[in-house]
């Protein structure tokens, strides 16, 4: 088996940005409690934002062939509907390789954290999660720009 990290040593440093988004579908009652800040584990948005930032920084540990890159900025934005929470993670770096994987890992872990914080509200009488699901994780924007 041949496995190797791509050599980016001759690539120019450029300003790179990637934005990823995803959704967690939840019950209306759960979303209401999240919005009101009344879940047992505390502020779902604050903890999930920190989880996303940590995940972005740890991406090379989870995806072995990703480069360890300097992260300049991570921004996490939440939007709620009646029965879902959307998360959008923006990652910025000045470096030799893109930040798409960092944005994707960030949004995934952000939504996993939301699930963890509200799972007690989502379980049915059999301990299952019939309506809870994470969907639509994708890169919605990618850019790179040379800085003079």
Residue 147 confidence class, pLDDT cut points 50, 70, 90 = confident
Q: Where are the domains of the chain?
A: 14-145
Residue 95 confidence class, pLDDT cut points 50, 70, 90 = very high
Q: Is the pTM of this model over 0.75?
A: yes
Flag whether pLDDT at 30 surpasses 90: yes
Say which DSSP state 96 is in. Answer: S
For residue range 101-110, what is the model confidence (pLDDT) as tens digits?
999 999 999 9
Q: Give the per-residue pLDDT at 42.
A: 95
- CATH value of 14-145 in 3.30.230.10, 3.30.70.270, 3.30.70.640, 3.40.50.720: 3.30.70.640
CB 22 within 8 A of CB 87: yes
Q: How many CA atoms lie within 13 A of 124 on its CB side?
A: 6
Quick one: average pLDDT of 77-94? Answer: 98
How far is C-alpha 85 from the geometric centre of its chain's CA atoms? 12
Flag whether pLDDT at 55 surpasses 90: yes
Give the rounded percent of residues in the chain with a pLDDT score beyond 70. 100
**DSSP-H helix ranges across the chain:** 28-36, 44-57, 59-62, 100-122
Residues noted as catalytic: 116
């Amino acid at each position: 088996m041949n496995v190797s990290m791509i050599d980016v040593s001759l690539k120019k440093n450029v300003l790179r940005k990637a934005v990823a988004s995803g959704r967690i579908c939840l019950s209306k009652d759960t979303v209401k409690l999240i919005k009101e800040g009344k879940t047992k584990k505390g502020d779902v948005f604050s903890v999930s934002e920190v989880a996303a930032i940590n995940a972005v920084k740890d991406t090379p540990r989870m995806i072995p062939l990703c480069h360890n890159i300097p992260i300049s900025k991570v921004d996490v934005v939440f939007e709620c509907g009646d029965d879902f929470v959307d998360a959008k993670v923006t990652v910025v770096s000045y470096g030799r390789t893109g930040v798409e994987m960092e944005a994707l890992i960030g949004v995934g872990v952000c939504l996993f954290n939301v699930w963890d914080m509200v799972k007690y509200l989502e379980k049915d009488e059999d301990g299952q999660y019939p309506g809870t699901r994470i969907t639509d994780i994708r890169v919605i924007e990618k850019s790179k720009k040379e800085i003079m």
